[in-house]
Structure 1
Amino acid sequence: MKIEQLYNKFLECVSVSTDSRSIEEGAMYFALKGDNFDGNKFAQQAKEKGTRYCIVDNSEISEQDSDFILVDDVLNTLQALAKHHRQQLKYPIIALTGSNGKTTTKELIYAVLSKKYKVKATIGNLNNHIGVPLTLLRFRPDDDFGIVEMGANHQKEIIFLCSIAQPDYGLITNFGKAHLEGFGSIEGVIKGKSELYDYLKSNNKTAFINSNDTIQTEKIGSYDKVISFGSDVQNDISIQFISANPFVNVKFKDVVISSHLIGSYNYANIAVAIALGDYFKVNLKGIENGIENYSPDNNRSQIIEKANNKIILDAYNANPTSMLAALENFKNLEAKQKFLFLGDMFELGNTSTKEHQAIVDYIESNFETSTVFLTGKHFASTIAKSNIKTYNSFDDLKAELKHHSIKNASILIKGSRGMALERVLEIL
């Protein structure tokens, strides 16, 4: 079936889904396959739940129902359909990538632009070769903007996602030591993320550049379709950093905007949302309200009060760059007692030992009077001083914490998603 014919059937559907367990009546179901599952086997289940069409790539399955549409490859078809759908949309799409802060930045941009426009954005962090197509297929012709978050852990992924989403505007949050196992090095990260700039340049589209980031200014080079933002008054859009104690405050057009985000590293995320809002004519009050009304959730830089403790919960993910930024911010907070609960950083490849030891060395130099709990096999293999306690697993940590009573303290909790360190909250 040609993609144009499939698209007509897509227009009959209320949504798309790849999960037969939670599917909407009238949806189009894509029977994706993975290493440990085959969505074709659940097409009948999806049909029984009310799907309009099931896209399958197993000929035997397709013969079971006239609404089962056989294709050569379900994933390729999902991506091709999303690309075709994007070509029908007549409004701007903003793409963003980066090593840290993508989802927070995406949510901030959405919060600001939605004060004036009808906006759709990536839900959660559905930002890969499956998530981006699913995001695009949620966009509707009567929207005003689409915001697409793009993630990658190898070269050529960002340029591939750009070929599907075809953004009109793009930005990179930062370049950091994330997914080093796939990218190979920080230079590999920079090259991979900069594929967004490559796409924008080759298609004469516009880049938003944080002039405070020398790597961004270097990688964009002499390209002229650039909107610059940052603390320098010479930028196209100037936003001043005021403070982060603990929440980030900035000044824009003589108005102080107070966020609910902690850490000076969030300045850049706030600044680009302000810059996009200003560029697209959201009024100053709308920009201010968008930033000030946004509160982080889902274990991202949340401040929680529990048992007379002030807890910074930043356990959604971690890499050497974001871990160091969180530690630097925590170091500068005033507190009588400080406790650190840190978990392993994943996907670092053969740099893992060096990067975990570097974090331990930083802690030894900057948190001599703090109590530090490090969890995971990578941290457990480091060499640490006496105030730093290491545990091979969360169960080992949990057993130890039963003997501790932590009160009236400031606490940082941070680790990679697989460590699920938010479980510390249940113990405190």
Structure 2
Amino acid sequence: MKKLTVNQIKEGTGGRLLNGNAFDTAENICTDSRIAQAGDVFFALIGELHDAHQYLPQVLESGCRCVVISDENAWKQAAEQSGEAGNVSAILVEDTTRALQELAAFYLGLLNLKKIAVTGSTGKTSTRDLTAYVCREKYKTQKNTGNLNNHIGVPLTILSFEEDTQVGVLEMGMDKQGEIDLLARIVKPDIGIITNIGLAHIENLGSQEGIFQAKMELTGYFDETNVLIAARDEEFLNRERIQGPYRLVLAGTDGKSDFIISHIEDFGADGIQFCLEHLGEMHRFRLPIPGRHNAFNAALAVAAGLELGITMEEAARGLAKAQLTDKRLTVRGKNGIKIIDDTYNASPDSMRAAIDVLMKTRGIRNIAVLGDMFELGETSLTQHELIGRYAAQQGVQLLVAIGRDAEQIARGAEKEGLEKSFYFERKEEFLEHMDSIIERGDVILVKGSRGMEMEKIVKKIMEQQE
């Protein structure tokens, strides 16, 4: 982070300086009292379960000398308790979360960089990562780490950008209307990417049309200088549905797209190869990450790179180095068992894509361990059954379904004729029987929604192979 003076922080947050020196500086933003230290600005955020103002005494004891607070009494008590009032700058704001967001927007205005925002029902983290790999071939590029993609994570990511950052790639997550609009207002992206319109969060948004409208909030601050890049589909992401003053660039497998994807070769856990045609020129790309669907994510990344003056050759070099964020189709192996760890989250589209990767990965048996998919609303039981049917149709040899609605995955697989399937309401029940189900030589896909904590299954399998 570029050093900021207390006065700049006051200006950026719209706050009032209660105490301290306006010319002191800070070089890091912190929202976790346990790791606050000298040189940090501590934001006392108020969440559903915790009010960080109660930790101000510990923050001051840690050596932190600048705090942004909305509870003046809590500050006074902490300062009195620690005896550090004279050495600490305290900025009073109305809402500390909103102040963090406003400071992020202010900070972006101090930097000279291009901003790429990525959203979509599925694939946004992978596309974010691939876009960063492309851009790093020519520019100093930074991006969100982990899952810092919400109303707090995006501002924290922005405020971690170094002063000489040339490209910022920012994933934007949402589960309700208005959330992408908030992030777009903070970021004011130069380039927007929408990966797809699926069923994730349909419980909150009501329909795919609602999901589409929520994703399109990304363009709310676009004008004729902006570009929206999207994976073309017939219903939502096409020139008939998307209208605006900005330029639209589409990637897809037909002649209606600006970037035409073809000749996808799937090597299972070893990655994919595909061709991309643009302006009459054909280029071949190799990705060391699994999944046919990543050809579309990579095409979006290439399109974004070309908007910044990156050549196809440079983009290909960047993609060849790609590694995805952990728990997204990460292949692990030990003692003759191979695990495809895709436990970060799940939706119907990403479930199908992961099953495709499983079936392209060599092993004696292909096993799918699938957990509940959340936030599907009244479509949930149907969508779970369809996933079971899809697994059986693709040739999965053994299926394990875990969770409340996942019982429909097992039933769907059985309806399609799969003879070997197991259902467990809780993953602990599966873990008790796991040794009798898994064998040496198996390739095992483990996937489910975040709240299912399916990574615990991956961990247990790996531990038992030691």
Q: TM-score, length-normalised on structure 2?
A: 0.84
- Alignment partner for residue 248 of structure 1, among 272, 290, 308? 272
Counterpart-to-counterpart distance in 2, 1:25 and 1:244? 50
Query: Residue deviations 1:190-248, cap 9 Å, x none?
Result: 111121134325x7521123346652114323755233434456754445443112122
**Partner residue, 1:357:** 385
SS of the counterpart of 1:257?
Answer: strand
Superposition map of 1:296-335 within 5 A? 296-331=324-359, 335=363
% identity of equivalent residues = 31
In structure 2, relative to structure 1, the CA distance for the partners of 1:351 and 1:227 (3 Å cut) is closer
- Listed as ranges, the gaps of 5+ residues in structure 1 are none
- Alignment partner for residue 32 of structure 1, among 27, 32, 45? 45
Residue 149 (str. 1) matches residue 177 (str. 2):
no
The alpha-carbon deviation at position 129 of structure 1 amounts to 0.9
Superposition map of 1:213-252 within 5 A? 215-217=236-238, 218-221=240-243, 225-232=247-254, 235-246=257-268, 247-252=271-276
Residue 195 (str. 1) matches residue 200 (str. 2):
no
CA contact (8 A) 1:62 1:69 kept: no
- Alignment partner for residue 49 of structure 1, among 59, 62, 70? 62
Counterpart-to-counterpart distance in 2, 1:177 and 1:61? 44
CA contact (8 A) 1:29 1:54 kept: yes
Residue 402 (str. 1) matches residue 415 (str. 2):
no
SS of the counterpart of 2:139?
Answer: coil
- Listed as ranges, the gaps of 5+ residues in structure 2 are 1-5, 14-21, 80-84
The alpha-carbon deviation at position 270 of structure 1 amounts to 0.9
CA contact (8 A) 1:120 1:143 kept: yes
Query: Residue deviations 1:340-375, cap 9 Å, x none?
Result: 1011111223332222222223334444x6111111
SS of the counterpart of 1:216?
Answer: coil
In structure 2, relative to structure 1, the CA distance for the partners of 1:176 and 1:130 (3 Å cut) is same
The alpha-carbon deviation at position 390 of structure 1 amounts to 0.7
Query: Residue deviations 1:130-178, cap 9 Å, x none?
Result: 1111122223442211111111101111112111111111010111110
RMSD: 2.6
CA contact (8 A) 1:309 1:409 kept: yes
**Partner residue, 1:374:** 401
Counterpart-to-counterpart distance in 1, 2:420 and 2:355? 16
**Partner residue, 1:265:** 293
SS of the counterpart of 2:287?
Answer: strand
Q: TM-score, length-normalised on structure 1?
A: 0.91
**Partner residue, 2:369:** 341
Counterpart-to-counterpart distance in 2, 1:309 and 1:4? 52
Query: Residue deviations 1:79-119, cap 9 Å, x none?
Result: 11112222333322111100111111111111111121111
Counterpart-to-counterpart distance in 2, 1:341 and 1:72? 47
- Which residue identity lines up with residue 227 of structure 2 in the other structure? T
CA contact (8 A) 1:100 1:173 kept: yes
- Which residue identity lines up with residue 50 of structure 1 in the other structure? G
**Partner residue, 1:388:** 421
**Partner residue, 2:451:** 418
Of 269-278 and 345-354, more deviation after overlay is shown by 345-354
Of 46-55 and 321-330, more deviation after overlay is shown by 321-330
CA contact (8 A) 2:197 2:211 kept: yes
